[in-house]
Amino acid sequence: MIVVETPIALTRHSGQELGVTSWFEVRQEQIDAFAELTGDDHWIHVDVERAARESPDGRTIAHGLYTLSLIPRLQRQLFRIEQRGAGLNYGYDRIRFLAPVPVGSALHLRQSVGAVAPRGSGARIELRSAIDIKGADKPALIADGILLIAAA
């Protein structure tokens, strides 16, 4: 875990990997809850019996956006800013969904810091995130995100 005092202090880590999180297991209950919340209830996500018959792996798969939404949860294992104000997910410049995430998969996040620039009283922080699937050849996704975090 990297700990910095202020948002702009992440500048010291520009171009560096922050680390890798512990493994996180994707469960059907989580996929079902995400489907309920978003209205994306395609059978490939929620119909276990049909997926067993018709999907290539015989299992349901997580939504790509569900997998993307795990980034904030997982990145808490990688860095902490001690003196900070409000934070805002400013968006993503690029997101690529590279591999399906079957139910029961174990995922972890690898994250590195890109550019860090002063923004108001805080900083604009670019993060490259990759969510890996245990045992897979390629990541589930790669995303280039931007955070705006105010100083305390």
How many separate helices (H) and strands (E) can be counted in the chain? 4, 8
Task: In whole angstroms, give the CA distance from residue 63 to residue 31.
Answer: 7
- As given in the structure block, the two tokens for residue 108 are 């972890």
- As given in the structure block, the two tokens for residue 124 are 């604009």
pLDDT digits (tens, 9 = 90+) for 47-65: 999 999 999 999 999 999 9
pTM of the model: 0.94
Domain 2-151 has CATH 3.40.190.10: no
- pLDDT value at residue 103: 98
Q: Report the chain's mean pLDDT, rounded to a whole number.
A: 97
- As given in the structure block, the two tokens for residue 79 are 């860095």
- pLDDT value at residue 142: 98
**If you average pLDDT over residues 86-111, what whole number do you get?**
97
pLDDT digits (tens, 9 = 90+) for 110-136: 999 999 999 998 999 999 999 999 999
Q: Where are the domains of the chain?
A: 2-151
Measured in whole angstroms, the distance separating CA 1 from the mean position of its chain's CA atoms is 17
